[in-house]
A = this chain, B = another copy of it.
Amino acid sequence: MFSIGEMSRRTGVKVPTIRFYEEKGLLPQPGRTAGNQRRYDDTALKRLNFIRHARELGLPLDDISELISLEGAEGGELDRAHSIAQNQRQRIRERIAKLKKLERELTRISTACDGDHDHVCDVLRALGDHGGCDGDH
């Protein structure tokens, strides 16, 4: 049995965030001391680690809720867990592709400004001028 601060230390999740997760139903309401302080056990610790890990992967809290509810599921229901992971993978791939495009364009803009800037900074001009971009965004 440990306090919320101990949970925080063991998982790296900040104290207010733990309470926030409880409020959102991601963590079950823990037991309390006579003085109304939360006390957690290993089960809660594992779940918080699960949440933290899923958050680090960028999963929204709703998806995490759903994954949690799949604990102990079987057969077809598990396909849902699989598809949540797959969807997230897809989302991440798309974000990577988009960011790469942006990087290319920022490179263009930055190098445009590398030399002597006589009149108007080319960064500003390049931002106003969408034409030089290589894709639609």
Contacts and interface: CB of A to CB of B under 8 A. Distances in A.
B93 A110 contact: no
Interface in A98-137: 99-100, 102-103, 105-107, 109-110, 113-114, 117, 120-121, 123-124, 127-128, 130, 137
Contact of A57 (B53, B81, B82, B105): B105
A103 B130 contact: no
A103 B89 contact: yes
Interface in A19-60: 46, 49-50, 53-54, 56-58
Interface string A73-93: 100001001101110110011
A71 interface: yes
A88 B95 CA distance: 16
Contact of A67 (B93, B105, B124): B124
A96 interface: yes
Given A92-B99, A99-B99, 5 more contacts: A53-B128, A57-B105, A71-B124, A84-B123, A92-B102
Interface of A: 46, 49-50, 53-54, 56-58, 67, 70-73, 78, 81-82, 84-86, 88-89, 92-93, 95-96, 99-100, 102-103, 105-107, 109-110, 113-114, 117, 120-121, 123-124, 127-128, 130, 137
